[in-house]
Amino acid sequence: MKIGYVRVSTEEQNTARQELMLRELGVDELFIDKASGKNADRPELRRMMEYVRRGDTVIVESISRFARNTRDLLDLVERLTEKQIEFVSRKEAIDTTTPTGKFMLTIFAAVAELEREYILQRQREGIAIAKAQGKYRGKAAKDYPDFERVVARWRSGEITAVQAMNLLGMSKTRFYARAKLLDK
C-alpha cells in the first residue's frame, strides 16, 4: 500500500497542495497533522507509524514535512526500515530502497535541520531588535476574570487545586505562579 503523510505547522495552514500531490501519486491512505514538526510526537504520525505494514511505502512531499531534525528523521526512517517499509520524499527524490537514497536522506536531513536553526536564529534576532525598539512585549497575558474568586474557594478548602485549575482552564504551573502573585 502507498501511505501518504501530510503536515503543516498550524491549524490555519492549508494542506491542499500536499494532499493533491499525494492523491495524484495514488496513495491508499492519508494521514494529516496540523502541528509543528519540531518533534516527532504528533498524533497522526503516531497513527501512521502504527498503521503501516511490511511492504508498504510511506510517501511525503518533502522531508521537512516528515521531520525537522536529523535525529528524528533518521529515527523515523529506521523504524520504517525495521518494519520493511519504504520511504519516499518527492521533493528531494529520496527513495530508501537504495544505498544512494539512504545517503541522500542523511544529507537532506542535516540541511533541513540547519535551515530550521537559521529560522529560529533569525526569529530570536528579530525579537531582540523589536524589544530594543520597544515594539515587542511578548505574548499578552491571558485574562482569567474569575481567578481571584476561584483561588479564594481553593484556599478556603471548598475546592481542590485540581478543581480550581479545571474551572479556570489553567496549567498547574500557571495556576500556582499566578496564585503566588496574589500574595504579593
Question: Which pLDDT tens digit goes with each residue over 12-28?
Answer: 889 999 999 999 999 99
* Domain co-membership, 160 together with 87: no
* Domain co-membership, 110 together with 33: yes
Residue 134 inside a domain? The answer is: no
Catalytic residue of the set 9, 62, 89, 171: 9
CATH of the domain at 27: 3.40.50.1390
The H or E element containing residue 55 is: none
* Domain co-membership, 44 together with 113: yes
Kindly state the percentage of the chain with pLDDT values over 90. Answer: 49
* Domain co-membership, 84 together with 172: no
Average pLDDT of the chain, as a whole number: 88
Which cell is 72 given? 528524528
Kindly indicate the confidence band of residue 96, based on its pLDDT and cuts at 50, 70 and 90. confident
Residue 11: per-residue pLDDT = 81
Domain limit, last residue, from 117, 133, 156: 117
Q: How many domains does the chain have?
A: 2
Between 6 and 97, the more confident residue is 6
Between 63 and 48, the more confident residue is 48
- pLDDT at residue 167 tops 80: yes
Written as one string, the DSSP assignment of 81-137 is: HHTT-EEEETTTTEETTSHHHHHHHHHHHHHHHHHHHHHHHHHHHHHHHHHHTT---
The H or E element containing residue 79 is: helix 70-82
**Mean pLDDT of the 147-169 span:** 93
Range of the domain at 96: 2-117
* Domain co-membership, 9 together with 98: yes
Which cell is 123 given? 526569529
Let me know: does 58 contact 52? Beta carbons within 8 Å: yes
Phi-psi region of 39 (alpha: psi -120 to 50; beta: other; left: phi over 0): beta
**Mean pLDDT of the 57-72 span:** 87
pLDDT tens digits for range 23-58:
999 999 999 999 887 777 899 999 999 999 999 999
* Domain co-membership, 86 together with 36: yes
Residue 103 inside a domain? The answer is: yes
pTM more than 0.85: no
* Domain co-membership, 100 together with 52: yes
Residue 154: per-residue pLDDT = 93
Is there a catalytic annotation at residue 36?
no
Which cell is 75 given? 529515527
Instruction: Output the CA–CA distances (angstroms, integers) from residue 40 to 6, 9, 121, 165, 181, in the order listed.
Output: 13, 13, 21, 28, 36
Kindly indicate the confidence band of residue 160, based on its pLDDT and cuts at 50, 70 and 90. very high
- pLDDT at residue 139 tops 80: no
Instruction: Output the CA–CA distances (angstroms, integers) from residue 125 to 68, 91, 156, in the order listed.
Output: 21, 30, 46
Q: How far apart are CA 38 and CA 113, in angstroms?
A: 10
Domain limit, last residue, from 74, 99, 117: 117
* Domain co-membership, 157 together with 98: no
- On the CB side of 118, how many CA atoms lie within 13 Å of its CA? 6
Residue 1: per-residue pLDDT = 95
Q: How far apart are CA 35 and CA 173, in angstroms?
A: 23
Residue 63: per-residue pLDDT = 85
**Mean pLDDT of the 51-76 span:** 89
